[in-house]
Structure 1
Amino acid sequence: MSGRTYYITTPIYYVNDVPHIGHAYTTLACDVLARFMRLDGRDVHFLTGTDEHGQKIEKAAAAAGLAPQAFTDKVSQSFRDLIRTMNYSPDNFIRTTEPRHYASCQALWERLVAAGDIYLGKYAGWYSVRDETYFVEGETAIGSDGKRHAISTGAEVDWVEEPSYFFKLSAWTDRLLAFYENNPGFIGPDSRRNEVISFVKGGLQDLSVSRTSFSWGIPVPGDTKHIMYVWLDALTNYITECGYPDTSNPLWKYWPANLHMVGKDIIRFHCVFWPAFLMAAGLEPPRRVFAHGWWTNEGQKISKSLGNAIDPIELVKTYGLDPVRYFLLREVPFGNDGDFQKRALIGRLNGDLANAYGNLCQRVLSIIAKNCGEKIPAKGPLHESDNALLDRARGLLATVRAELDEQAFHRALTTIWEVIADANRYVDAQAPWALAKTDPGRRDTVLWVLFETIRRITMLLQPFMPDSASRILDQLAIAADRRTFADFDHELQPGAMLPKPQGVFPRFVEAAAKAAS
């Protein structure tokens, strides 16, 4: 596994508004995977960025009284700021307004033309500016406001008639179905895979891939009256980053991507349009696309009209960064929709982090400091109970690796917390504070077993809670260069000096938060 490439991407975020919890959630999932794979010896490239073209951006910029480029510069920066706030670790941040991206998109277009998959025609149909999506008659309906809306998204649609280039998507129905059959892991979770296959089996229509009614976008090569369809433009970012069309670029080694992480609302673009574009151009599709669910807020759908958007920056200010990172990936099975509830977050913070994990670390390290001269204790003969706990801790790496390969973050964390619970029960059963008087040798063995268990748990929590895990590993005197999974089974020798233990996860008290605000 060591040295193998791992290319993971977020969708590039549309800059018509500021970041919200959905953006934070997607990028967090990618960040955890990127960090895990780096610790596991993989050659990782983690990409995020912003999608900055299209009619919706042109309108939003005009409403803000700004030129489109100035508008996108401003909003794109807010997504960069979120990276710092949430402690993400991308290797690059791409913008679709970069010159290299123009070159990449136009090169891909020319490949599609050369393959005979693009032709000039006329588009007449329903179009949603908000969704940047075309809809057929049966996918729309008249709403209570008397206007026509897309049934799936609720977005208002307008009748559009204009010259357009088309991609021969209808010719790809059988080839896409064969691709899904031969690559069963391409779409996750299974519910989304079933949705996509059903959609494609229903028959595909040729896709309009250019517009003439606005100018903010990438011109079609040889016909600059046409602007490329924003989704053809946006999806191409994933190969732009790898140097396309220059496949001798050192970054081309990362293509095809191991994983595109997306929200469920854009699964068709990534699992129908994108592989068809790529295969038509003679390029490999990505290995996997995973679509996660949406968050509601205290049981209500999040919407501008309700004013109940969840600001990730405010969450971090109130509850702390790592507790928020932990909660978002622990609370809901990844891939499902989830309801954000403050009481649930506080419950996780106080129950899982402060009481279970934090208390385990604090009391074990405090007992060691008091009874073992602030040194890693010596190991004596191991009892059955010792080996049972150690075996569970040793097995965590393989289990977590397998769960993250399936993007099952919640199951990975549940498994880790089961071992934390085992360790807390082991402390209570062994009572090392009592052994200090009756059997110091046994006391030291018990504390060594707990020390090793905490070390392994904490190493695996680095991708999820990097700052907190780093502080705990510091208290375990683990050198910075001994924290990768290559050292997971490298048991520490007794006698090393340990720093003074300090709590890492304070309890959250609601009244204190109210007073602070």
Structure 2
Amino acid sequence: MTSGGSFYITTPIYYPSDVPHIGHGYTTVAVDTLARWHRQAGDDTWMLTGTDEHGQKMLRAAAANGVTPQEWVDKLVTESWFPLLTTLDVANDDFIRTTQQRHEERVQQFVQAIYDRGYIYAGEYEALYCVGCEEFKPESEIVDGTGAFEGLKVCAIHSKPLELLQEKNYFFKLSEFQDKLLELYRTQPDFIRPESARNEVVSFVKNGLKDLSISRSAFDWGIQVPWDERHVIYVWVDALLNYATAVGYGNDAEQFDRRWPAYHVVGKDILRFHAVIWPAMLMAAGLEVPRGVFAHGWLLVGGEKMSKSKLTGIAPTEITDVFGSDAYRFYFLSAIAFGQDGSFSWEDLAARYQAELANGFGNLASRTIAMIERYFDGVVPAAGEYTDGDLAVQKTVADAARAADAAIERFRIDEAIAAVWTIVDALNGYITENEPWALAKDAENRARLSTVLYTAAEGLRALAVLLSPVIPAATAKLWVALGADGALGALVDQPLREAGAWGLLPAGTTVQQLAPLFPRVESA
């Protein structure tokens, strides 16, 4: 993406019927890191997250708790979902709630528009419905129950009995978009990533699409169908539209033209909604399809997909209270290949925290600044003549910056971090090899010592910029300790795609003491 282009990226809007677990946090920090990277690279960036608050599941949860659905969702969002963003240091530009007036009015406008264009008709429907998924289940996701549910049809995802629903509904002519969707996937091979997700969607659409029931009349917790007050709009249609309503669809044409289309990052279990139903709805309305849909894998705990019902859900604060938000962000974004399933374990988290963050990056920062304080009274020395070893570090920095930006373009945050980490490893090796503490013993080596410590400090300057989208708190502390805020301005204002250039930290800058960026964790 060229600098200055528009980059609009979304998380799924989360269903707040329960408290957030580390899977929700994983998606959110991934999108936040991509947004921070593009924002700092000078792209016109907008990050959206939010909550999906309608539907039968929410209605039932509210009734079980003796409150109205609106009271119930207000409580959940305020007590659990807003705090998640603070806990994980997320810099989103907007937070949409599907119960907001700005959303509800524009959803009605959109549905009316595709009705007027002839893509919606009335019909009768009878099918097995899963309240957990808020979805009429396809044959492939219906299985025979066992144990207490023997003799019943159950949802393959939730293992709970399905309900047979018979309703007069409105239908969206999804079947008419089969060829157009296949053409989209063919002409834009990157529309769905990774490739495994793309293949799954192509094969699903090739098997034929059925028209989609887009209204419900058995309950009223939802957005009214504009031409028939007895019906509410199906929760998934309402939810998908948030990506358009949040950036001005139907209300602010200038904002909508500036932001739309979006990149969507979703868990692979909701891929079909985003890669099949959503682009078809947009085509029906005569709007541009999204820029792309990226499906990440599941987080597994003890080999099982995380869920509250199976007690594998872990609250993000269980990790951040011990290791901090930076460690949470770094661990999930570097330890898991983005797009594939990944396993979480406390042992792996503790080991990576110690080896990579504390010993690798944190120690490099502390000892470089301590040596500048000790040998040069806290003033960054000027580099003298560069040797091959010094030039090799400069090449590593330039190559890493380029490779990381290219990896971010592919939505591979893990590969971007791995590229940047080659600088950490190179600088640690460089200090070990050059032994500044030995050079400091002989005045004749003063010029060499200056070059070595300038090289280490300038390498840290590049690391602070390149890692700031991933670990914003630690890099902000390092930036101040390097004296870079005074010399170069705020960290968030440093142009990210120029971070690999050499010689940006001016000699003569005064460093400040740096407390350990990643302190020892006793309970790990």
State if a TM-score over 0.5 links the two structures.
Answer: yes
3-state SS, counterpart of residue 118 of structure 2: coil
Which structure 2 residues correspond to residues 381-420 of structure 1 after superposition, within 5 A? 381-420=385-424
Unaligned runs of 5+ in 1: none
Q: Paired residue for 1:101?
A: 103
Query: Cα offset for 1:227?
Result: 0.8
3-state SS, counterpart of residue 170 of structure 2: strand
Q: Paired residue for 2:230?
A: 225
Q: Paired residue for 2:43?
A: 42
Cα distance in 1, alignment partners of residues 132 and 514 from structure 2:
53
Q: Paired residue for 2:449?
A: 443
Cα distance in 1, alignment partners of residues 4 and 306 from structure 2:
42
Q: Paired residue for 1:79?
A: 81
3-state SS, counterpart of residue 253 of structure 2: coil
> Does the 8 Å contact 2:482/2:510 carry over to 1?
no
Q: 1:295 aligns with which of 271, 294, 299?
A: 299
Q: 1:424 to 1:400 in 2, by over 3 A?
A: same
Q: 2:120 aligns with which of 118, 121, 125?
A: 118
Q: 1:307 aligns with which of 308, 311, 322?
A: 311
Cα distance in 1, alignment partners of residues 244 and 54 from structure 2:
17
> Does the 8 Å contact 2:3/2:43 carry over to 1?
yes
C-alpha distance after superposition, 1:311-340 (max 9, x if no partner): 101211111111111111111111111111
Which structure 2 residues correspond to residues 88-487 of structure 1 after superposition, within 5 A? 88-137=90-139, 139-144=141-146, 145-146=149-150, 147-151=152-156, 153-257=158-262, 259-438=263-442, 439-479=445-485, 480-481=489-490, 483-485=493-495
Query: Cα offset for 1:308?
Result: 2.9
3-state SS, counterpart of residue 309 of structure 1: coil
Cα distance in 1, alignment partners of residues 111 and 304 from structure 2:
42
C-alpha distance after superposition, 1:6-57 (max 9, x if no partner): 1111111112111111111111001101111111011111111100001111
Cα distance in 1, alignment partners of residues 185 and 252 from structure 2:
26
3-state SS, counterpart of residue 437 of structure 1: coil
Cα distance in 2, alignment partners of residues 301 and 268 from structure 1:
19
Query: Cα offset for 1:509?
Result: 2.6
> Does the 8 Å contact 1:242/1:249 carry over to 2?
no
Q: 1:139 to 1:307 in 2, by over 3 A?
A: closer
Cα distance in 2, alignment partners of residues 249 and 81 from structure 1:
32
> Does the 8 Å contact 1:125/1:136 carry over to 2?
no
Q: Paired residue for 2:55?
A: 54
3-state SS, counterpart of residue 248 of structure 2: coil
**Over 6 Å off, 4+ runs:** none
Query: Cα offset for 1:252?
Result: 3.7
3-state SS, counterpart of residue 8 of structure 1: strand
Cα distance in 2, alignment partners of residues 260 and 201 from structure 1:
23
3-state SS, counterpart of residue 395 of structure 1: helix
Letter in 2 for 1:267: L
Letter in 2 for 1:206: D
C-alpha distance after superposition, 1:209-252 (max 9, x if no partner): 11111100011111011111111100000110111113524354
Which segment is superposed worse, 133-142 or 97-106? 133-142
3-state SS, counterpart of residue 429 of structure 2: helix
Which segment is superposed worse, 361-370 or 486-495? 486-495
Which segment is superposed worse, 475-484 or 282-291? 475-484
Cα distance in 2, alignment partners of residues 17 and 304 from structure 1:
8
Q: 1:493 to 1:304 in 2, by over 3 A?
A: closer
Q: Paired residue for 2:519?
A: 506
Letter in 1 for 2:449: R
- RMSD over aligned CA atoms reads 1.5
Count of aligned pairs: 510
Q: Paired residue for 1:496?
A: 509
Unaligned runs of 5+ in 2: none
Query: Cα offset for 1:126?
Result: 1.1
Cα distance in 1, alignment partners of residues 294 and 140 from structure 2:
28
> Does the 8 Å contact 1:131/1:155 carry over to 2?
no
